[in-house]
Amino acid sequence: MNQERLLRSMAARNPLRTPMQHSASRRKFMAGIAAGIAAAGLPRSAAAQSRPLSLLTWDAYADPNLLDLWRSTTGVDVRYEIHISDPTSVNRLRAGETDVWDFINVNNPWARNVMYPANLIRPLPRERFDPLYAQMKEKFHLPYKWALSEDGEDLLGIVQRYETFDFVVNPNVISPQLAKDEGWDLFNNPDFAGRYGILAYEDWNVMDICMGAGIHPYKEKTEADFAAFEETANRWIQNAAFITTDFVQLNLGILNGEIDLYFTGGTYTTAAARLEGVTELYAITPNSGPADGKGGINWIEMNSAVNNPDFLDATYDWLEFITTPDAAEMVARGNGNLQPVSQMAQPELMSRFTSEELQAIQWDEFDERIANAVEFDIVPDYDRLYDIYTAAMRARG
């Protein structure tokens, strides 16, 4: 299979329809993990549920293997909608959909800064959920800022998937060490004009352009900052070889020699290809930058219980269920691209990932990438920055 066919094949895979692959049979595997979860004391309480558990979520939590396991071990039915935007989904709760959903999965700042102050999510029972944080990577041990209310009293959700998301290079053309040292200035270097692509994930592009303009994306902007952002946005967008919402196109562009690097990207966009042996893709998090000295961005997903007036106890059960080793493994694989989860601090879970899978997500550099990245936050003056960005995109034509 040639490289284009390989990438097309990977792009055509729907992670919501592809069964999880294990050496044991699916039946044996599911039976084994069902027994493990039953031993953990999760309830089987279908008769007590008046309606299905409703998830407003990213795709990993709608994986059919995960949902089948949940149904088989608890007897509780589930419905879901996969969202495409944190702020849009938060605004849906604001608009009255707290009576529609039981669970929401969004990036870290929304729970603490927006949803909890607006009474859109409910705090978790700390005696039940605090111990789960001790099973996570040390970064998340309590008191962890994003998991807690402003006063530190209330627990707002469960942390699970997390990674950095910055840019990707062809290591045969640009050495990874050089890329880390140069950081976002690679895109300012005129030698790379016409040699990079842009993955048009708008909110991420806004944050990246801030980094390239020497601006902290999560701090208030001056007029000089807006001017620097506008100049950088226009130059970066005009100098891009191509812009697309399909990261497979960007990976193919690197393989074909059309481009040497692209933003926004990371192991999310490269892991599946790297696992298939495509070594020309390398995720980069800069060693330094304007965000408190850091050049990368670390996203962290927070799983929370919606403050539904018809609250289901199964919501708490689900939040505990996803942290068990078997369910956490499914979540890590659930988007088809292998993403780390906080529970990989547990040897039992880590042992399930092969050396090839860990190489695909550049696990040997994972702690380094996280250390060099500022944690995802809400961008002040985002609307004004977004207007500048979209104007630059229109000017490109």
Domains 15-161+301-352 and 164-297+375-396 are alike in CATH topology: yes
What local confidence, expressed as pLDDT, does residue 237 receive? 98
Distance CA 236, CA 85 (A): 24
Q: Do residues 256 and 248 lie in contact, with contact meaning Cβ atoms separated by under 8 Å? A: no
What local confidence, expressed as pLDDT, does residue 56 receive? 98
| Percentage of the chain exceeding pLDDT 70 | 87
Distance CA 115, CA 107 (A): 12
Indicate if the pLDDT at residue 344 is higher than 90.
yes
Please report how many Cα atoms fall inside a 13 Å half-sphere around the Cα of residue 134, on the Cβ side: 6
Query: In the chain, how many H helices and how many E strands?
Result: 17, 12
Tracing tokens 């059960």 back to the chain, one arrives at: 317
Indicate if the pLDDT at residue 40 is higher than 60.
no
Distance CA 29, CA 352 (A): 13
Q: Do residues 332 and 363 lie in contact, with contact meaning Cβ atoms separated by under 8 Å? A: no
Q: Do residues 340 and 163 lie in contact, with contact meaning Cβ atoms separated by under 8 Å? A: yes
Q: What is the pLDDT of residues 187-217, one digit of tens each?
A: 999 999 999 999 999 999 999 999 999 999 9
pLDDT-derived band of residue 6, with 50, 70 and 90 as boundaries? low
Just give the CATH number of 164-297+375-396: 3.40.190.10
What local confidence, expressed as pLDDT, does residue 246 receive? 95
Give the pTM.
0.86
Domain ranges of the chain: 15-161+301-352, 164-297+375-396
Q: Span 353-361, mean pLDDT?
A: 96
CATH 3.40.190.10 holds for 15-161+301-352: yes
Of 59, 60, 68, 62, nearest to 27 by C-alpha is 68
Element spanning 93, H or E: helix 86-94
Please count the other Cβ atoms lying within 10 Å of the Cβ belonging to residue 392: 21
**How many angstroms from the chain centroid is the CA of residue 357?**
18
